[in-house]
Structure 1
Amino acid sequence: MESWPWETIIEPFRIKTVEPLGFTTRPQREKALKDAGFNVFHLPADKVLIDLLTDSGTSAMSAEQWACVMRGDESYAGAKSFYVFEKAVRALTGYKEVIPVHQGRAAERILFSFMGGAGKTVLANAHFDTTRANVEASGAQAIDLPVPEAWDFQNPSPFKGDIDTRALEVAIREHGAKNVPMVILTVTNNALGGQPVSMRNIRDTAEICGQYRVPLMLDCARFAENAYLIKRRERGYASRPVGEIAREMFSYAQGAMMSAKKDALVNMGGFLALNDAAWAKRARQELILGEGFPTYGGLAGRDLEAIARGLEEVLDEEYLQYRIRSVEYFGEGLRDAGVPIVEPPGGHGVYVDAKRFLPHIPAEAYPGQALVCELYLTGGVRAVEIGSLMFGRTEGGRFEPARMELVRLALPRRVYTQSHIDFVIEVFRDIARRKDSLRGLKLVEGFPHLNHFMARLEPAA
């Protein structure tokens, strides 16, 4: 693929179908946010102008994927569409056992239902919200072991998504290998800036896991973005096709969980892919209880067809060049506006360091959520907090804040153009001029698991 020699980013596609945006007035947004309990998850989508809440299930499908929808076989058992899906997942991952699910958290729930449990410890570079919740719901504990530079948000190190391999070996010895049912590498590392994991780190982690006979699993929702960043940033990979890099990533693990709503470019779906037939047998028993028959797993045949096509399209290097460069452009614009971000920009979005941007708001007043609310009030932009609302805990009546206070601006794939991003940068520029006037929030109603989805807040006094 020839590198793009021009300064202007162009989308490597033409727009074929359009959807109107939800323009609102400031008073309308004030009412909507108050009605939502200052939690943007509760906002009606038609009251949002630019929706950067998540890149999960918000992609635009291609004309070919829509053609696949029409080919969907909706037979209850043994549908042709399942075998198309199975072939695509096997070709990508190399794993023999392919289990469809309706989204990534279903794969997590199924896996931890028989691999988790009291006394177990799951180790990871960083568990994201639903992964941690499903580990803990099984009775196990989830421990994050990111590399130290992951916490230095201004450090431009290229692979801040890596797991700390020294800490990993110490943790396995401390807890006992028999009590560590698996190690998870989330690629890219969504909890800490969408940062990629290097191939060297995947390989070294696999070596440690093999030494202690602990299975290695990939949480691979953004595998293609991770593979492309390896191609861009890691020595020895510049000339290799992204698909080949992705297959090498998968080759070091015993299986993978995927929310297909990210890098499969679809609105719903996922899979659990394994090599262990005994694990797969137990997983399918759990699947039937909660998802459906093993050849559909809670998905329509049309969804299975669209996922199979998306797994092929996402490896198009012209698309990936545009995708990663768009995120970099967004990061550059925010940086120029005086907004501190997690450096370098990752694969699927830009993360604002709210703790640094709003130092006058303490962690217990949720600075990230305060910024999320101000983004919506000012410009109708919806983002998500990754901080003390999402990961903070109350133990024995004492509030323990998260180590980070971030705001993630996740870019849906093939949805927004450069002018949409320029508008969001302009909104941030306006907020930056008056950031010292922003107030924190207080929690009115909280929940023990996945608090950020259901919590209700109000402005702090």
Structure 2
Amino acid sequence: MKTIIEPFKIKSVEPIFITTVEERVQIIKDAFYNPFLIPAEKVLIDLLTDSGTSAMSSSQWAGMMIGDESYAGSPSFFRFENTVKDLTNMPFIIPTHQGRAAEKILFSVLGAKGKMVVSNTLFDTTRANVEASGAIGVDLLCPEGKLPNVPSDFKGNLDIEAFKSLIDKNGADNIAICILTVTNNSGGGQPVSMQNIIDVKNICKLNGISFFLDACRFAENCYFIKLREKKYADSSVEQIAKEMFSYADGCTMSAKKDAFANMGGFLALHNEDLSNKCKNLLILTEGFTTYGGLSGRDLEAIAIGLKEVLQEDYLKYRINSIEYLTNKLIKENIPVMQPAGGHAVYLDAKQFLSHIPIEQFPGQVLVTALFIEGGIRAVEIGSLMFGKYDSMNQLIPAQMELVRLAIPRRVYTQSHIDYVAEVIIEVYKKRDALKGLVITSEQPVLRHFTAKLAPVS
């Protein structure tokens, strides 16, 4: 069958409020050309993020009704803890209110001034927490991952030879931690192969470097491994996931992604001494060790979601849906990350808007155009998000200029996705008329969340 059917039925709905082009021109102007500043009810299709925007299942909602809100020793925590232990085989489980809180705690303990944190690609909040600890984030994405329009099976991989060279040049003692993001969000939602995970683990073990996973989209990554690594074709996604976690010393996770929860995350560890240090910081900043800034209701929802996401009918639908939109755009010769990633479609803004200089943020221009044309909210993953300034205050561009359309889980139907494709195609036809943007106000850290921009005069 060619038609993708959702492996679920819709039991509850919420309205989408339709706006006109003229209204959206004023809305984006009032938001200073920043999608983060647009009120949600003024968005038709919200693809800003897949984090915390999933539709929870009837089982999750039912589970929330038995959530126990005891400050200490809640049975909801122990159900959550047992689920995470079963999945990761890590004995020390620390709940946090979301993934970046787990990152903040981990890097506050392991990071230090001048130390390096190595990754395939650090996402924005991860890098910010690394740098807040005084450490330096180093991205070692494989060469094929830097070519958006060239298909390859595992473009999220870490560059093994570059990692070895970094160790030889700087010494293993200067590397605080290596963390692989699975799937690689900033690299186009591309998966990391099990072989790459094993290779990275072996290098870390040989050099005494802690090896962690950023596991917020672990199930999507494992499904790609099942599809693309022959050795795992007959393995279940759950079996693949358990093997993947077996190579890591620990992991961080935002449960707002592959656990379908609207809030929550965790830090899982093997090392008891590290766990105790992290728990001390958890109590100081998040809450007691058996709730960590979460309600019992959230802990129940996460425990159920971590099991639901391993259902292969769901993962097949999820991956095929992203591929469906990607293929529609490829047929129209629209520059898009290939092959399709796990949670989002990534437009190559640098090629899409080749007439706009990088310092005028073509990705942000494209984000703005998508909203005006069709009320679609997306996010720039390029030089607005990741760009730095040199000593002369000149922009150091990001590695790629992408626009991410992150698809919330179990929220939109195929007709919504068809509409998204139509809007992108229409913007592509009008692309030559689009002009650049300049920043009028920005913060020194994570500027893309609150920056104000204006059209180039």
TM-score for both structures, normalised by structure 2: 0.99
SS in 2 for 1:191: coil
Q: Which whole-Å CA distance do the structure 2 matches of 1:156 and 1:422 have between them?
A: 23
Q: Which whole-Å CA distance do the structure 1 matches of 2:436 and 2:394 have between them?
A: 19
Listed one character per residue, the Cα deviations across residues 367-391 of structure 1 (whole Å, up to 9, x for unaligned) are: 0000000000010000000001000
What residue is the counterpart of 2:199 in the other structure? 204
SS in 2 for 1:181: strand
Q: Which whole-Å CA distance do the structure 1 matches of 2:219 and 2:62 have between them?
A: 23
Listed one character per residue, the Cα deviations across residues 254-305 of structure 1 (whole Å, up to 9, x for unaligned) are: 0000000000011000000000000100001110111000100000000000
What residue is the counterpart of 1:243 in the other structure? 238
Q: Choose from 439, 445, 450 the match for 1:443.
A: 439
Q: Which whole-Å CA distance do the structure 2 matches of 1:371 and 1:336 have between them?
A: 20
Alignment of 1:182-331 (within 5 A): 182-331=177-326
Is residue 2:163 matched to residue 1:168? yes
SS in 2 for 1:98: strand
SS in 2 for 1:273: strand
C-alpha displacement at 1:337, in angstroms?
A: 2.6
Is the 8 Å Cα contact of residues 121 and 175 (structure 1) preserved in structure 2? no
Q: Which whole-Å CA distance do the structure 2 matches of 1:364 and 1:332 have between them?
A: 30
C-alpha displacement at 1:87, in angstroms?
A: 0.2
Q: Choose from 124, 129, 134 the match for 2:129.
A: 134
C-alpha displacement at 1:27, in angstroms?
A: 2.1
In structure 2, what residue type is equivalent to 1:76? Y
Q: Which whole-Å CA distance do the structure 1 matches of 2:429 and 2:394 have between them?
A: 35
Listed one character per residue, the Cα deviations across residues 100-152 of structure 1 (whole Å, up to 9, x for unaligned) are: 00000000000011100102001000100001000001111000001101111
SS in 2 for 1:432: helix
What residue is the counterpart of 2:96 in the other structure? 101
Q: Which whole-Å CA distance do the structure 2 matches of 1:20 and 1:291 have between them?
A: 34
C-alpha displacement at 1:156, in angstroms?
A: 1.1
SS in 2 for 1:192: coil
What residue is the counterpart of 1:79 in the other structure? 74
Structure 2's unaligned 5+ residue stretches are: none
Ranges of 4+ aligned residues in structure 1 off by more than 4 Å: none
What residue is the counterpart of 2:22 in the other structure? 27
What residue is the counterpart of 2:108 in the other structure? 113
SS in 2 for 1:257: strand
C-alpha displacement at 1:432, in angstroms?
A: 1.3
Listed one character per residue, the Cα deviations across residues 352-404 of structure 1 (whole Å, up to 9, x for unaligned) are: 00101110001000000000000000100000000010001112212111121
C-alpha displacement at 1:26, in angstroms?
A: 1.7
Q: Which whole-Å CA distance do the structure 2 matches of 1:369 and 1:208 have between them?
A: 38
Is the 8 Å Cα contact of residues 12 and 318 (structure 1) preserved in structure 2? yes
Is residue 2:399 matched to residue 1:411? no
The number of equivalent residue pairs is 456
Please, which moves more after superposition, 396-405 or 420-429?
A: 396-405
What residue is the counterpart of 2:397 in the other structure? 401
Is the 8 Å Cα contact of residues 338 and 429 (structure 1) preserved in structure 2? no
In structure 1, what residue type is equivalent to 2:440? V
C-alpha displacement at 1:77, in angstroms?
A: 0.5
Q: Which whole-Å CA distance do the structure 2 matches of 1:446 and 1:24 have between them?
A: 29
In structure 2, what residue type is equivalent to 1:271? F
Q: Which whole-Å CA distance do the structure 2 matches of 1:114 and 1:237 have between them?
A: 36
SS in 2 for 1:88: helix
C-alpha displacement at 1:336, in angstroms?
A: 1.9
Is residue 2:416 matched to residue 1:457? no
SS in 2 for 1:182: strand
Is residue 2:427 matched to residue 1:427? no
Is the 8 Å Cα contact of residues 209 and 216 (structure 1) preserved in structure 2? yes
Is the 8 Å Cα contact of residues 50 and 380 (structure 1) preserved in structure 2? yes
What residue is the counterpart of 1:16 in the other structure? 11
Is the 8 Å Cα contact of residues 222 and 263 (structure 1) preserved in structure 2? yes
C-alpha displacement at 1:22, in angstroms?
A: 2.2
Q: Which whole-Å CA distance do the structure 1 matches of 2:251 and 2:131 have between them?
A: 19
* Two-structure CA RMSD over aligned residues (Å): 0.7
Is the 8 Å Cα contact of residues 366 and 388 (structure 1) preserved in structure 2? yes
Q: Which whole-Å CA distance do the structure 2 matches of 1:154 and 1:394 have between them?
A: 28
SS in 1 for 2:19: coil
C-alpha displacement at 1:173, in angstroms?
A: 2.4
C-alpha displacement at 1:412, in angstroms?
A: 0.2
Listed one character per residue, the Cα deviations across residues 402-458 of structure 1 (whole Å, up to 9, x for unaligned) are: 121100010000000000000011111111111111111001011211111010000
TM-score for both structures, normalised by structure 1: 0.98
Q: Which whole-Å CA distance do the structure 2 matches of 1:22 and 1:165 have between them?
A: 48
C-alpha displacement at 1:338, in angstroms?
A: 2.6
What residue is the counterpart of 1:347 in the other structure? 342
Q: Which whole-Å CA distance do the structure 2 matches of 1:333 and 1:419 have between them?
A: 13
SS in 1 for 2:230: coil
C-alpha displacement at 1:167, in angstroms?
A: 0.8
Q: Choose from 362, 365, 369 the match for 2:364.
A: 369
In structure 2, what residue type is equivalent to 1:40? P
In structure 2, what residue type is equivalent to 1:348? H
In structure 2, what residue type is equivalent to 1:403? Q
SS in 1 for 2:176: coil
In structure 1, what residue type is equivalent to 2:453? L
C-alpha displacement at 1:217, in angstroms?
A: 0.2
C-alpha displacement at 1:198, in angstroms?
A: 0.1
What residue is the counterpart of 1:332 in the other structure? 327
C-alpha displacement at 1:346, in angstroms?
A: 0.6
Q: Which whole-Å CA distance do the structure 2 matches of 1:63 and 1:37 have between them?
A: 39
In structure 2, what residue type is equivalent to 1:272? L
Q: Which whole-Å CA distance do the structure 1 matches of 2:162 and 2:138 have between them?
A: 11
Q: Aligned residues: percent identity?
A: 57
What residue is the counterpart of 1:3 in the other structure? none
